[in-house]
Amino acid sequence: MKSLTLFLLFYYPYSILCQDFPRKELDMNRITDELYGFQDSDANYEELYENVLQLLSNPVNLNKAKEEDLRFLNLLSNRQIRNLLDYRKENKNFLSIYELQAIPEFDLHTINKLAPFVKVTDPATILDASFWKKIRKETDNYFLVRYERTLQTRIGNRSLTQPGYRFKGSSDKLYFRFRSSRPGDFSVGFTAEKDAGEAVHWSAANHYYGLDYLSFHFQLQNKGRLKNLVIGDFQSQFGQGLMLGGILGMGKGSETITTARRSNIGIVPYTSVYEAGFFRGMAGTVEITEHFNITAFYSNTKRDATTSEDSISGSVVSSFQTTGLHRNENELSTRKKIGDQNWGAVLQYKVNQLDLGVMFNEASFDAPVLRNRNAYNQFAFEGFQNKNIGLFLNYTFLNLAFFSEASHTISNGNAVIAGVLWSLTNKLDLSLLYRKFDRNFYSFYSNAFAENSLTQNESGMYWGCKYSINQKINMAGYLDLFQFPWLRYRNYAPSSGHEWLIRFTYQPTRKVMIFVQGREESKDRNMTDENSTLFHTSNGKKYNYWINIDYGIRQKLRLKTRVQFSSFRFAGRHSKGTAILQDIRTEFGKFKFTVRYALFDTDDYDNRQYVYENDVYLAYAMPAYYSVGVRKVAMIEYKMNHNISLWLRCANTRYLNENTIGSGLETIEGNTKTDIKFQLRITF
């Protein structure tokens, strides 16, 4: 029967449509527009989102993918995942990606989105092959070299800057990355980086090995009862990320269903350049019986922190630093100042559609944490050690997927998340999520679904829906109601708020996609009153509106037009922001060209416009457009041959009403900033 199915798929005239499948490359425009949440804080989104991009760039083997591996892609509904797994169980291994057409509810639109993220490996290529032979024959081998520089000089690089503040290194930013992997089998690699302004030198005592940052990993999978082993740098994702969440969350966005649930993917290698939030040591998962497995990990590393001397406790940590910048004496004084020792274990039971786990994690520091006290952080963590225990429960019944996690900080507070995803019909999907985090719940490696940046001091209820009117038109939206029982940063009073989003998408063909999106967020914030010593708060409302047209003209020419509006109302004041942009992407032989021209006009920083920009392979660009100006981006990709590719990118921003750009040591005199980037990729 399977042979007949494949024959029809490959030779029946309808299968000619398969020739329209995209090539094996990531569609970062789609990932950003659909999966990632709105950006309103000052976090480094480029490094955070690059972490997820690194994992998505490693295709999932359809013949070995587990349910959680497919969920992590955030592309398939619960019904589609079940159909895929049932088809594989009945028909054994996939022989080709094109076989996805035979799965119920897998139309060409779904397959086109899925194709860049999955692969089918011929079992004959790996049978009886040694580990080194697999590395030599593996196609997912590459080496990257990346160079970046801002052409204008920052104040921190000037010779007249005071010695304690002057940057010690050049304005060049360097990045090196190697990885060799086979999904479900092995992975080995390293990542090294020097930020602009950092020096290059060798000092084993200070953990300098040439460049400022060095990450490495070695992983083996599915070797008998040893299901996973990672040595080096890794991150973890268990349950819903309350205790062990790495930096894998995507937040609230226009994908209103799948991103509400965290994927229980376990231990994965860490390959990002974000210098906080990962473990360094060893982790392994062993199958005890058919339904039980246990995961254990140990990590011992140094963290960046600001320290001070206390008359009683001696050296204490007042705050952790996550920028990863070590350019001058002040920043170097925080580099790797505190020892962070972590260990933990997860006992997991999985049978049919039930996934149950018990977790424990202990984090210990070699110096006490003693925060600088202020109004909002009176319940922040203090001390040498933190212990958490937790339980997660996931259960799928037909097209209903229940997920939950409850965690407890020993001698302190609790946190709980529970939700459900429901594929009500093949056109309608629903999601519901409840969360409650105590103000004294502490977890240093969480990334749960939340409005706050930390899983503390919050409760809320989230509803999401997605409805396909037909194959060309769909609607998605969510409503999130949340409360903050205690004070929070920039809001010194208990408060509540809400957020909603609605999006209409029209895609008449694979080459044309149009969407219109609106969003409102309401939260309280402190008011500035120079005549009072008391803090007063007021409600602030922000509105965002997007109109996006992505269309293809002929086979190798694509255009994208977008208009973004925003407005912010606070304490009787009303401000606005706008960004208008045009992208052009085309190909000529071995060359690919990408050009952007953008105009922006914002009244204040509250209306800054975050916009994704096309970047070199495995890099992620999400700058904030603010003030009034023009931004131009041009990128050339040249595929020299099957093994060597080159990228050159230039981005120029000109502000119309500014005499300086940036602040502090990042300040550039003048109204123009130009960034260049070069990358070489060698595959073998």
Cα 45 from Cα 345, distance rounded (Å): 30
User: What type of residue is 495?
Assistant: S
Burial of 41 from C-beta contacts in 10 A (0-12 / 13-18 / 19+): exposed
Report the pLDDT averaged over residues 356-372: 93
242 membership: H or E segment, kind and range: none
Among the residues of 314-353, which ranges form H helices?
329-332
Token digits of residue 507:
């895609």
Residue 132 is predicted with a pLDDT of 57
**Distances 651 to 163, 353, 613, 623 between C-alpha atoms, Å:** 31, 49, 10, 11
What does the pLDDT read at residue 18? 40
Paired tokens of 310 = 């206390």
What pLDDT was estimated at residue 373?
79
Confidence bin at 127 (pLDDT 50/70/90): very low
CB atoms within 10 A of CB 653: 20
pLDDT at 284: 97
Is residue 343 in a domain? no
Q: Which of 136-140, 361-365, 419-423 shows the lowest mean pLDDT across its residues?
A: 136-140
3-class DSSP state of 267? strand
Q: Is 313 exposed, middle or buried (0-12, 13-18, 19+ CB in 10 A)?
A: exposed
Q: How many domains does the chain have?
A: 1
pLDDT 10s digits, 305-352: 998 877 666 789 988 998 899 999 999 999 999 999 999 999 999 998
Alpha-carbon span 38 to 36, nearest angstrom = 7
Amino acid at 189: G
Whether 438 maps to a domain, the answer reads no
Judged on CB neighbours under 10 Å (0-12, 13-18, 19+), 179 is: buried
Largest pairwise CA distance in the chain? 82
Residue 660 resides in a domain: yes
What share of the chain has pLDDT > 70, as a percent?
Answer: 89
Residue 74: the pLDDT is 81
Is the pLDDT confidence value at 160 over 90? no
Q: Is residue 640 part of a domain?
A: yes
Taking residues 187-206, report their average pLDDT. 88
CA dihedral 87, 88, 90, 96 (to 10 degrees): 90
Dist. CA 449–CA 374, nearest whole Å: 27
Q: How much is the pLDDT for 19?
A: 39
Instruction: List CB contacts of 155: < 8 A, sequence separation 6 or more.
Output: 161, 664, 665, 666, 667, 668, 669
Domain of residue 634 covers 554-684
Which pLDDT value is given to residue 137? 58
What percent of the chain clears pLDDT 90, i.e. is strictly above it? 56
Kindly state the tokens that stand for 208: 């300098």
Give the model's pLDDT for residue 313: 66
Is residue 559 in a domain? yes
Cα 563 off chain centre by: 24
The residue ranking higher by pLDDT, 26 or 196, is: 196
Q: Is residue 58 part of a domain?
A: no
Q: Which of 122-136, 388-402, 481-495, 651-665 has the lowest mean pLDDT?
A: 122-136
User: What is the pTM for the complete model shown?
Assistant: 0.88
* Spatial CA neighbour of 441 closest among 511, 386, 403: 386
* 193 falls within a domain: no
Contact 230, 219 (CB under 8 A): yes
Place of tokens 């007042």: 318
Higher pLDDT, 359 or 111: 359
Let me know if residue 586 belongs to a domain.
yes
Express each pLDDT in 444-459 by its tens digit: 988 899 998 889 999 9
Tell me 153's DSSP state: P
Q: Which is higher by pLDDT, 423 or 131? A: 423
* Residue 367, burial from CB neighbour count under 10 angstroms (0-12, 13-18, 19+): middle
Task: Give the three-state DSSP class for 174.
Answer: strand
Per-residue confidence band for 4, with pLDDT thresholds at 50, 70 and 90 = very low
Give the three-class secondary structure for 84.
helix
Q: Give the pLDDT band (50/70/90) at residue 12.
A: very low
Residue 596 CA, chain-centre distance (Å), reads: 24
Strand ranges (DSSP E) for 325-470?
338-351, 354-369, 383-397, 400-409, 414-423, 428-437, 458-468
Give me 432's structure tokens. Answer: 């519901």
> For residue 35, what pLDDT is reported?
66
What average pLDDT does this structure show over 554-568?
A: 92
Average pLDDT score over residue span 298-304: 95
- Calculate mean pLDDT across residues 1-14: 45
